[in-house]
Amino acid sequence: MTTFIDFESDTVSCFQQDEFAIINLKAGAFNLLLNLEEKNKILELLDSIDKSPEIRGLVLINSDEYPGDVKYQELLCQVMQDEYKSSYASGVEVSRMRHAVAQLSLQAVKFRKPLVAGVQGRISGEFLGNILPFDFRLATKDTVFMFPNVKLGFPPAGVLTYYLERFLGPAKATEVLMLGEDIYALDAKALGLVTGVVEGDELLEQCLKKLAAVCRVPIPTLSATRSLLHPEITVIEKYLDRSFKTEWKALNSMGKVNS
């Protein structure tokens, strides 16, 4: 099993500071969604952190090197371009990406300890969906959440649609998902998508400060609170299955993937 002590790969680095684990997403982080080996490493890492008696909580941040929405947008462009029509390769990549997104999202929902996400720069809607199940989400002032899939005609899927409706209500979630307009950090805070907006050089410090404040409460109490705030895991699993089938049906009807 991958352990969290001074772990580093091309996609993430992880270290322990006091009672907290910190995962830093690096330049190659998008490969978590396409490379089975890298995805399994991060899932094992998260499981190791969750089970460790030495760790009371987790901070997940994206580094300056993190590719933002660039790699995600490149994949969507490949799928939606005519020359990739019914491409086996693009279909496999979409399937892998969706499966990885589902597993990472479920891991966040099931996590028993407090989770704090810190984001900066350009953040795709996919990544936003992955951190919405976190307990707290801090963003730097330059953060912008982007939805390139809308402009490219790529249907939404995953927990993003589920949690956006919970956070924003049906009307606002519909507006975000159908218009695909960028959401800047301060607007995201006003909408409740992020908990706070901080200076760029204070991101990790403020995330750890938030986690330390939360962890004054006993972990079993926090775990119980997380469990009650989230739906049953079977509800999320069923929603993800429906979501991916709906997305695949839409892509297939446009001739972008094989049935």
Q: Please list, residue by residue across 170-204, b when 16 or more beta carbons sit within 10 angstroms of its beta carbon and e when fewer do.
A: eeebeebbeebeebebeebbeeebbbebbeeeebb
Q: What's CA 151's distance to the chain center, in Å? A: 20
Per-residue confidence (pLDDT) for residue 84, from 0 to 100: 47
Nearest CA to 50 among 24, 7, 14, 21? 21
What's the whole-model pTM score?
Answer: 0.91
Residue 190 has what pLDDT? 98
Domain 7-253 CATH superfamily: 2-enoyl-CoA Hydratase; Chain A, domain 1 (3.90.226.10)
Of 171, 209, 218, 207, the C-alpha closest to 191 is 171
Residue 156 to residue 171: CA distance in whole angstroms? 16
pLDDT of residue 88: 47
Q: What is the mean pLDDT of each run of 10 residues along the chain (259 residues)?
A: 66 92 87 84 92 95 76 79 53 81 92 97 91 97 93 87 96 95 97 96 96 96 95 95 90 78
Domain boundaries, the chain: 7-253
In the block, residue with structure tokens 């984001």: 119
